[in-house]
């Protein structure tokens, strides 16, 4: 058996090998990847399929002078192995030393940190444009998978590429992404190109003004070297369509394992039941029970069903009540608005970080049009995730959209009640932030009262949401059973308001305060789209400190609204009272990269002890 | 001359005409549109081109049972004239009674309120899906222009359409959008289809799995009626490609007037020099002066140059230093990140409302990657615009992005200084909120001191931005000359901080307070990405009230950060001080539809008198 890999500390070492030695290197890398993945996990299927292509790219091109941009970048393991980072995949003591994504802080061979789908072509166009403007040289290569191609921005990039005149090489890794689900559209076109070995007249890329070349066996490293050699230093944009076998080397499972199929970073199939899956399945089961009598009820997932508890079995049983739109968040939200306005009941589920793509459609087609649909936000809040998948900004992203009702359940029961409302009597656009692991842990412990049997205070006479002028769109509170905050524990002096997954922390802080002789009020706000001014005003009677706790970014988030409310209304109260002191707890305005959650909680002071101490000091 | 139009109060009246009477009706409508546009303005070019197509649609289909969705919807004037709203275009006393966009509150014939490009296909897919799920009937028709087709979400929609099985009719209005600028990509494909009268092998739509039909003369109403009759009640998705003449009826200007060409709602060519154009031209001139010695300096506009002061003459002179990407904000931002990371200096200019499309790319490709580029935000803040083009959310959209520096100049001089910094020494991602009409008015009056000759207070010892850990991305303040607030007027008791275009209001409120015997401090914060805690802490010495003024949505905005900062730090001060009272002034969380700016200012209390009164009351 060969031992080439051990001698490769960068692309220049690779170039010393002969082409006929490369298949042996590919075998070594494939074996290493299998060993690595069994011990460590990761997106192994797409990386296995790309072993030969990545070797060929680095054999032919001269990174980092030539720029190779890996779309989404979780198929970059082989690239990392060939660019000085092989030990992170071959030495078990170093597994985990590198991130699953490319990162310029890690290597000069990584032009970008990337984790969202479809931007590689646009980025490559930009690099090519800068090179041509500044009189530089070198190749710019974007490597993108067929699954990513359905993503909106990839199309915009292809269209721009068709307008550029200089060197630009788009390598399309076609591993027949479209097999598992019934995808048509441009996937039919790719299928025709495969069948015709690239000769079909119907050719999306030529239709967009791009040159095109097909490589039938994308796992034949010599063929790839020939193809890349021929396009190296080409003077115009070209698509090199390579047909690869995803999961090559996995044996019987080759290309057939669904958990490897959707190469989305959050599709952690096989991992234990976390909050995402627990509450996702709970929600899906509740909806499925209604399918027979509600033909218009439709669950929509933009390519991320598995990680959100939408299991293969559930999908099969759901039939026409389920639709996977591919990786197309923008379309998915506008589509849901269309379903809703035509009388259907859409429920769209995906990660907070991916909803960022649909920010405009959430504002315009969904909220402004008051489309009666439900968005289920998974993975919101701070976590130990990598920097491209942070959910810490979800409260600010959704909570500030005029016209959108944003709910944050604190238990499975409350989630189901909210979902029943949003898909029924609500008749308005609603986003529900799925409960997280703190809620799940609290429910398992039975450590705090679930929704129900509690009280509201103050009269709901506030003007928020009271407009009915035609020229104004606000978030309606009328008919919303969660518009009022609930006092779950009556106390005085200090009121703790904990939003959604931060609610258990507020409860725990109250227990800390008990031990210090203060019986604090605890409040479940239920929602983060409007503030319940009746409750906030009523608190003035016997509280001087209000503490808000949220597990997301403070700036632009929810607690600041309460601080601002008290600040701007203190002096307008009928009876002049002492100004309320408001202390907001939440995350800093930063993106963190695999920083453990416990570390973040310490850093942000999001611990019951710290919250209790700060509240006491403010009395 | 015929007088059919006067008898048409809905589509059923239209159906009583014979096909050979329709050309006369088209003439009537065209004349009415010309009269209307001369008196009232509006997006007349695209409407003139669509007179026959709109007549034919309503002649053949049965709205509102059949749903007709007008993409972007500012080509919906003829539709409005035929669906009971003709007097708003024929009776001068009623001009302006209807909005320039479709709106369900106006008519049952308008399925959506739409103003952003490219979502009609997704919305139509959703309506078709709901119909098929629920066992309904009727046609769903999306009418979309060729300019909108380059927009990402339109591609996602086309791809979905290729996967649907029931009735769906996409009418592509091809008025050769690509003429004015050098657009290639899919526009070459459309050109081939036109030349071949729809028979070219290269066919983007067929490539995506869609049926296809071509109508050579899209202004021949009888031909259109035949074509629509043939596709009515079709059992699968089809694209009907109609070739129309934009501006038909304008005479010599037919199809050639650039101001009619980009049918973007903010391309108000010919209107007097407002702040957008004034400061846009100022910025463009400053950049152009550097082109000779900075080959990598590139101005990017996603299809909205004219309204932002990027004149045709300027573009011609800029040559390769200017790029119009088409209506592709997502691509444009990722593209700019690519240019930046390859050593170029991108400056991307568009409206606040359109930047919403690129929210994800601003977070990921631009800010997280710390791409050294500049985003110029036009049209931010409250205004009397329609509800689909509100800029009131720009501060919350940009100001909460970790890693992004957001500047808000209060004069032309400050804008130029900021732009020189952002395109030079900054070496980080920067967004600049272009000054608005309040700044322009103040500059013309010379009513307040411009940037310079002022002071900062407090020591800059705060930890904000002080991280340098590799696993955290924050907004850097080191090396940012605008990270510190500037005290432009020293006073006591009350400090007024006015952000960007709201700065003149803060100055005016201070003058109101002078008249009432209080000499207030006035502060120019320069930026809204970090808070200057040194200045805020120093204010505690001799102020008890801090007032923030911004011309955007309060919730999620800038002033709330200051309220929150004081609330959570008051009790941690070395010397225990009286809590600071913070009053935030800004817009409510709502979208307004053509409500005059003066009305909004009254509603939000954004007047110097009101601000002064409230500040005094809080003392």
Residue B160 neighbours by CB under 8 Å, 6+ apart: A185, A325, A326, A328, A331, A335, B121, B122, B125
Task: Choose, out of A130, A299, A578, the residue to mutate when testing the contact with B (most B CBs < 10 Å).
Answer: A130
Distant-in-sequence, close-in-space partners of A58: CB < 8 Å, separation ≥ 6: A11, A14, A68, A79, A82, A83
CA gap B540, A146 in Å, rounded: 58
CB contact under 8 A, B591 and A402: yes
pLDDT of B14 over the 70 cut: yes
pLDDT digits (tens, 9 = 90+) for B30-77: 999 999 988 887 778 889 999 999 999 999 999 999 999 999 888 899
> What is the torsional sign of CA A281, A284, A286, A289?
negative
Cβ separation A402–B553 shorter than 8 A: yes
Residue A595 structure tokens: 């920083």
**Among the listed ranges A469-478, B211-220, B588-597, which one has the minimum average pLDDT value?**
A469-478
Contacts of A614 in chain B (CB under 8 A): 568, 571
Minimal-distance CA residue of chain B relative to A129: B339
For B259, the enclosing helix (H) or strand (E) is helix B258-261
**Would you list the DSSP string of A384-399?**
S--TTS-BTTHHHHHH
Whether B126 sits inside 8 A of A160 (CB atoms) is no
**Angle ∠(A154,A159,A164) on CA atoms, nearest 5:** 115
- Mean per-residue pLDDT, A594-607: 96
Give A40: exposed, middle or buried? Use CB within 10 Å, 0-12, 13-18, 19+: middle
Whole-number average pLDDT of chain A:
90
First-to-last CA distance in chain B?
A: 72
Contact (Cβ atoms closer than 8 angstroms) between residue A119 and residue B334: yes
Say yes or no to pLDDT of A447 above 70. no
What is d(CA B71, CA B602) in angstroms, rounded to the nearest whole number?
34
Higher pLDDT, A136 or B260: A136
Report, as an integer, the average pLDDT of B516-524.
97
At A259 the pLDDT is 42
Element counts in chain B: helices (H) and strands (E): 25, 18
pLDDT band at B181 (very low <50, low <70, confident <90, very high): low
Which one, of A570, A509, A500, A491, lies nearest residue A536 by Cα? A570
User: What was the pLDDT predicted at A265?
Assistant: 35
Digit-coded pLDDT (tens) for A201-230:
888 899 888 999 999 999 999 999 999 999
Q: What are phi and psi of A78, to 5 degrees?
A: -65, -40
Beta-carbon separation of B334 and A133 below 8 A: no
Sort out which chain B residues have CB atoms less than 8 A from A299's CB and list them. none
SS3 at position B247: coil
Convert the pLDDT of each residue in B244-286 to its tens digit. 988 888 875 544 444 433 333 334 444 568 999 999 999 999 9
List the single residue in A with minimal CA-CA distance to B345. Answer: A130
Q: Is the pLDDT of residue B417 over 80?
A: yes
Q: Collapse the DSSP code of B342 into the 3-class scheme (helix H, G, I; strand E, B; otherwise coil) and give the result.
A: coil
Distance from the B583 Cα atom to the nearest Cα atom in chain A, whole angstroms: 4
* CB-closest option in B155, B400, B471 to A152: B155
Show residues of chain B in contact with A124, CB under 8 Å.
Answer: 338
Residue A378 contacts by C-beta under 8 Å, 6 or more apart in sequence? A266, A276, A280, A307, A308, A349, A350, A351, A352, A434
User: A589 to chain B: nearest residue by CA?
Assistant: B402
- Asked whether residue B467 carries a pLDDT value surpassing 90, the answer given is no
| Per-chain mean pLDDT for chain B | 90
- Look at A344 and B126 and tell me if their CB atoms are within 8 Å: yes
Residue pair A106/A99 in contact by the 8 Å Cβ criterion: yes
Give the best residue of A116, A167, A185, A321 to mutate against chain B (max B CB count within 10 A).
A185
Q: CB contacts < 8 Å between A and B, how many?
A: 463
pLDDT in tens, A76-122: 999 999 999 999 999 999 998 888 899 999 999 999 999 999 999 99
| Rounded Cα gap, residues A582 and B55, in angstroms | 60
- Looking at residues A417-427, what average pLDDT do you find? 97
Q: Are the C-beta atoms of A572 and A613 separated by less than 8 Å?
A: no
Picking from B593, B533, B597, B591, the residue whose alpha carbon sits closest to that of residue B566 is B533
Please give the residue that has the higher pLDDT: either B462 or A152: A152
Q: List the single range of A323-327, B337-341, B520-524, B591-595 with lowest mean pLDDT.
A: A323-327
Q: How far is B421 from chain A (nearest CA, A)?
A: 20
Task: State whether the Cα torsion B222-B228-B231-B236 is positive or negative.
Answer: positive
B337/A123 Cβ within 8 A: yes
Shortest alpha-carbon distance between residue B469 and chain A (Å): 10
The CA distance from B333 to B339, in Å, is 10
pLDDT tens per residue, range B184-195: 677 888 888 999
**For residue A113, which residues of chain B lie inside 8 Å, CB to CB?**
368-369
| CB within 8 Å: A564 and B563 | yes
Chain-chain contact of A328 with B159 (C-beta, under 8 angstroms): yes
Q: What is the pLDDT of residues A373-396, one digit of tens each?
A: 999 999 999 999 999 999 999 999
Strands annotated E in A423-562: 430-433, 472-473, 486-489, 493-498, 521-524, 543-553
Q: Are A419 and A413 in contact (CB under 8 A)?
A: no
Residue A430 has pLDDT above 90, yes or no: yes
A401 HSE (CA, 13 A, CB side): 27
Nearest CB among B128, B207, B563 relative to A563 is that of: B563
- Optimal mutation site among B153, B298, B323, B574, interface A, most CBs of chain A within 10 A: B153
Pick the residue of B98, B114, B122, B192 with the most A CBs within 10 A to test the interface with A by mutation.
B122
Confidence of residue B469 (pLDDT cuts 50, 70, 90): low
Cα–Cα distances (Å) from B617 to B510, B581, B613, in that order, read: 15, 11, 6
Q: How many residues comprise chain A?
A: 619
Give pLDDT tens digits for B528-577. Answer: 999 999 999 999 999 999 999 999 999 999 999 999 999 999 888 776 56
Query: Rg of the Cα trace of chain B?
Result: 27
Shortest distance, CA A291 to any CA of chain B (angstroms) = 11
- Token code pair at residue B13: 């009246």
Exposed/middle/buried for residue A177 (C-beta within 10 Å: 0-12, 13-18, 19+): buried
Contact A378, A137 (CB under 8 A): no
Instruction: Compare CB distances from A331 to B105, B157, B559 and report the shortest one's residue.
Output: B157
Contact state of B127 with A563 under an 8 Å Cβ cutoff: no
- The verdict on a CB contact (< 8 Å) between A400 and B555 is yes
Chain A: closest CA distance from residue B445 (Å):
31
Put simply, the answer to whether A206 touches B202 (Cβ < 8 Å) is yes
Which of B298, B368, B618 is nearest residue A388 as measured by Cβ atoms?
A: B368
pLDDT digits (tens, 9 = 90+) for B343-371: 999 999 999 999 999 999 999 999 999 99
d(CA A409, CA A440) in angstroms, rounded, equals 11
Find the CB nearest A584 among B123, B185, B568: B568
All domains in chain A, ordered by first residue: 5-257 (3.40.50.970), 278-445 (3.40.50.970), 486-618 (3.40.50.920)
User: Percentage of chain B surpassing pLDDT 70?
Assistant: 91
By the 10 Å C-beta count (0-12 exposed, 13-18 middle, 19+ buried), A313 is classed as: exposed
Say what the pLDDT of residue A460 is. 52
Comparing alpha-carbon positions, the chain A residue that sits nearest to B149 is A156
Give the integer Cα–Cα distance in Å for A411 and A414: 5
Give the ipTM. Answer: 0.93
- CB of B441 closer than 8 Å to CB of B512: no
3-state SS, B94-134, equals: HCCCCCCCCCCCCCCCCCCCCCCCCCHHHHHHHHHHHHHHC
Rounded to whole angstroms, the Cα distance separating A152 from A312 reads: 26
Q: Which of A402, A412, A351, A407 is nearest to A377 (CA)?
A: A351
Task: Answer for the pair A25, A55: CB distance below 8 angstroms, yes or no.
Answer: yes
How far is the alpha carbon of A231 from chain B, nearest alpha carbon, in Å? Answer: 20
Distance (Å, whole) CA B380 – CA B392: 6
Whether the CB-CB separation of A363 and B358 falls below 8 Å is answered with no
- pLDDT exceeds 90 at position B463: no
Query: CB distance B617–A572 less than 8 Å?
Result: yes
CA distances B107 to A486, B84, B128, B350, Å, are: 40, 8, 20, 31
- Per DSSP, the three-state class of A143 is strand
Q: With contacts defined as CB-CB under 8 Å, which chain A residues touch B585?
A: 568
CA angle in degrees (0–180, nearest 5) for A284-A289-A294:
105
* B590:A467 CB<8 A: yes
Of the candidates B182, B184, B328, which has its C-beta nearest A156's C-beta?
B328
- DSSP annotation of B450: P
Whether the predicted pLDDT of A341 surpasses 90: yes
Whole-number CA gyration radius for chain A? 27
Mean pLDDT of A522-542: 96
Residue-wise pLDDT for B110-154, tens only, equals 999 999 999 999 999 999 999 999 999 999 999 999 888 888 899
Q: Which of B160, B467, B561 sits opposite A335 (nearest CB)?
A: B160
What's the rounded mean pLDDT across residues A9-23? 97
pLDDT confidence of residue B42? 73
| Closest Cβ opposite residue B339 in set A126, A206, A475 | A126
Kindly report each contact of residues A312-317 with a partner whose C-beta sits within 8 Å and lies 24 or more positions away, as own/partner: A312/A258, A314/A281, A314/A284, A314/A285, A314/A288, A317/A288
Residues in B closer than 8 angstroms to A590, CB to CB, are 402, 467, 472-474
Instruction: Report the distance separating Cα A144 and Cα A122, nearest Å.
Output: 11
- Rounded (10°) angle between helices B152-161 and B120-133: 30
Could B186 and A135 be called an inter-chain contact, meaning their C-beta atoms sit closer than 8 Å? no
What is the separation of C-alpha A183 from the centre of its chain, rounded to a whole number of angstroms? 22
């Amino acid at each position: 058996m060969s031992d080439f890999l051990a001698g490769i500390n960068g692309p220049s070492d690779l170039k010393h090998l002969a082409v006929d030695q490369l298949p042996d290197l590919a075998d070594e890398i494939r074996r290493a990847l299998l060993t690595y993945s069994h011990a460590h996990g990761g997106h192994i299927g797409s990386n296995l399929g790309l072993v030969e292509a990545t070797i060929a790219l680095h054999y032919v091109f001269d990174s980092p002078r030539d720029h190779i941009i890996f779309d989404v970048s979780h198929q970059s393991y082989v690239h990392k192995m060939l660019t000085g980072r092989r030990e992170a995949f071959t030495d078990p003591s170093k597994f985990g030393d590198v991130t699953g994504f490319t990162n310029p802080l890690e290597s000069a061979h990584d032009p970008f940190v990337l984790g969202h789908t479809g931007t590689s072509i646009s980025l490559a166009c930009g690099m090519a444009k800068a090179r041509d403007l500044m009189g530089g040289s070198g190749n710019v290569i974007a490597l993108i998978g067929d699954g990513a191609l359905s993503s909106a921005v990839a199309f915009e990039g292809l269209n721009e590429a068709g307008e550029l005149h200089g060197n630009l090489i788009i390598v399309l890794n076609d591993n027949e992404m479209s097999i598992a689900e019934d995808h048509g559209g441009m996937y039919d076109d790719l299928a025709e190109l495969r069948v015709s070995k690239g000769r079909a007249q119907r050719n999306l890329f030529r239709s967009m003004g791009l040159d095109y070349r097909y490589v039938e066996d994308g796992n034949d490293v010599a063929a790839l070297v020939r193809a890349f050699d021929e396009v190296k230093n080409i003077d115009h944009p070209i698509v090199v369509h390579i047909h690869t076998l995803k999961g090559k080397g996995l044996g019987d499972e080759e290309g057939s394992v669904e958990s490897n199929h959707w190469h989305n970073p959050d599709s952690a199939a096989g991992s234990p039941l976390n909050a995402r899956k627990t509450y996702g399945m709970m929600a899906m089961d509740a909806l499925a029970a209604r399918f027979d009598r509600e033909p218009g009820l439709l669950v929509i997932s933009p390519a991320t069903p598995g990680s959100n508890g939408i299991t293969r079995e559930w999908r099969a049983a759901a039939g026409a009540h389920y639709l996977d739109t591919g990786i197309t968040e923008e379309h998915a939200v506008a589509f849901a608005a269309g379903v809703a306005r035509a009388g259907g009941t859409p429920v769209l589920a995906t990660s907070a970080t991916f909803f960022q793509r649909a920010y405009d459609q959430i504002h315009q087609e969904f909220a402004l049009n008051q489309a009666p649909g439900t968005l289920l936000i998974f993975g919101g809040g701070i976590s130990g995730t990598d920097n491209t998948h942070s959910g810490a900004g979800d409260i600010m992203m959704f909570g500030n959209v005029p016209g959108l009702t944003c709910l944050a359940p604190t238990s499975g029961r409350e989630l189901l009640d909210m979902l029943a409302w949003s898909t029924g009597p609500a008749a308005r656009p609603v986003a529900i932030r799925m409960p997280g692991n703190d809620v799940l842990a609290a429910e398992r412990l039975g450590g705090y009262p679930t929704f129900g049997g509690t009280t509201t205070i103050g009269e709901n006479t506030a003007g928020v949401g009271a407009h009915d002028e035609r020229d104004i769109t606000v978030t309606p509170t009328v008919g919303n059973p969660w518009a009022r905050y609930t006092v779950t524990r009556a106390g005085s002096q200090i009121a703790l308001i904990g939003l959604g997954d931060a609610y258990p922390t507020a409860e725990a802080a109250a227990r800390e305060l008990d031990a210090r002789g203060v019986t604090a009020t605890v409040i479940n706000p239920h929602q983060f789209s409007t503030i319940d001014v009746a409750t906030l005003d009523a608190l003035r009677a016997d509280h001087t400190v209000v503490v808000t706790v949220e597990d997301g970014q403070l700036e632009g988030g929810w607690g600041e609204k309460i601080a601002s409310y008290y600040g701007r209304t203190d002096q307008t109260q009928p009876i002049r009272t002492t100004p309320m002191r408001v202390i907001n707890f939440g995350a800093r305005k930063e993106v963190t990269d695999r920083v453990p959650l416990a570390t973040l909680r310490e850093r942000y002071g999001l611990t019951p002890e710290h919250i209790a101490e700060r509240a006491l000091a403010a009395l």
